[in-house]
Each structure stands twice: as C-alpha cells, then as structure tokens.
Amino acid sequence: MDKLPIVLDLTGTFVFALSGALGGTKRGLDLFGVMVLSFAAGNSGGITRDLLIGAVPPGAVGDWRYLGVSLVAGGVTFYFSPLIVRMSNAVLYFDAAGLALFAVAGSSKALSFGLNPAMATVLGMITGIGGGMVRDVLLAEIPTVLRADLYAVAALVAAGIVVIGHVLLLPVVPVTAVALISCFLLRVMAIRRGWRLPVAKIGERDDRNIAEKNLKDSDRS
C-alpha cells in the first residue's frame, strides 16, 4: 500500500508524457522539442503539488525514474508517430487517463503529508490539470481546463472520492479503482456527448454553438 502513490504517479507521468509528445509530433516539433514537451506535460502537475505541500526537492527532480519515464514516452511517440498520430482521438484518451491517475495520486500524497480533506482534494485537482495546462501553453493553445468538457470537474471527482474514502477509513485499493474509473469515464463521456458547465452567451451565439466549437478544438488538439 505504501508504494501505491509512487506507482500511480509514475504511471500518470508516462501517460501524460505520451499526451504531451503526441501534441508535439502533431505540431511538427523536432526530437528535442518532443522530449521537452513530454517532460513538461508529464511532470508539471506533480512538481506544482510537491512544492505546495513542501515535498522538496519534487519527485520529478529528485527521482531519476520520472525523467526516464518521460523520455521513454517521448521517444516511443516520436519514432512511432506515424502510427500513433493516426489513432483516432488518442491524445484525448491519453489525457483522460493521465488526468485520472494524477488526480488520485495527488490527493493521496497530499493526505499522506497531513493536509486537511478540502485542500487534499484541491491538490489532487491541481496535480491532474497542471501537466495539461503547461502542455497547452507551450503549444500556444488555450489550456484545455479553461475550455473543455468537465476537465477540472472530473479531476475533482476523483480526488474527492479518494479523500472521502480516507476519511471513512475504507480499503485503499477499491477506493482508488473507483476514483480512477469515475474520472476517466466522466471525462470520456463529456468528450463524446459534449457535456460541459454553463457558459455565458456572447452576442447572438448560444451555448450550443460555443460547445460545438470547443468540441472541434478538442478534436484538433
């Protein structure tokens, strides 16, 4: 059980690194650019979390495995990019999986450092969305969390389930599984069905037009 957070963290790093590398290859970046984007996407959320809870140096800096996992993901994506890029909506599903893994790992680590339940939930969300935000900024895009269907909300749901399970002293593995599945399914269903929070109407455009535009933006990312 003690090794569960690090396993989730490294798995989330790999998945988000794949997402970042896929975004880089689609934009035509060279090998170095893909590796930088892979590391940034895979580790920014975890670094932010560790700095906020006082876990210094952050795991991504003090543990070579984070760098190794990121570089492997970047290398695999770069050299097999013609095959991977053709996968339909691969970036979105990798991103959804990484969001779930990081939200759960972030809230678990925050709890292990003695944070109260509310802040542990917030830290789980920050861990989940941090890598994607940095990836999008480096690709000169509006961060997905600000425009996509139930992105941060899905991370909050996963983190909340972990925290509630901790407070109620429920078994760790089942709670973790429920949190991961809930976040991933919520994000995937939001992508497929266009679920989103209400948005303000601008001029003559209605919510449906804005939702369709954001869905098209997600498909191109």
pLDDT given at position 220 = 53
Please check whether residue 102 is in contact with residue 128, taking contact to mean a CB–CB distance below 8 angstroms. Answer: yes
For position 209, what pLDDT does the model report?
59
pLDDT of residue 204: 47
90-112 helix and 151-167 helix, angle to the nearest 10 degrees = 30
pLDDT of 15: 86
CA distances (Å), origin 198, targets 117, 155, 219: 27, 18, 20
Q: Give which of 196, 136, 128 is closest to 156, Cα–Cα.
A: 128
Cα–Cα separations (whole angstroms), residue 109 to 18, 117, 215: 23, 12, 33
The count of structural domains within the chain is 1
Q: Which of 140, 149, 38, 45 is nearest to 96 (CA)?
A: 149
Q: Residue 1 has what pLDDT? A: 44
194's torsion region: left (phi>0), alpha (psi -120 to 50) or beta?
left
- And the tokens for 42? 């895979």
Which residues, given as ranges, of the chain have pLDDT below 50? 1, 204
| Tokens describing residue 164 | 């509630």
What is the extent of the structural domain holding 27? Answer: 4-220
pTM: 0.80
Q: What is the pLDDT of residue 42?
A: 93
Q: What is the pLDDT of residue 198?
A: 79
Q: For residue 89, what pLDDT is reported? A: 67
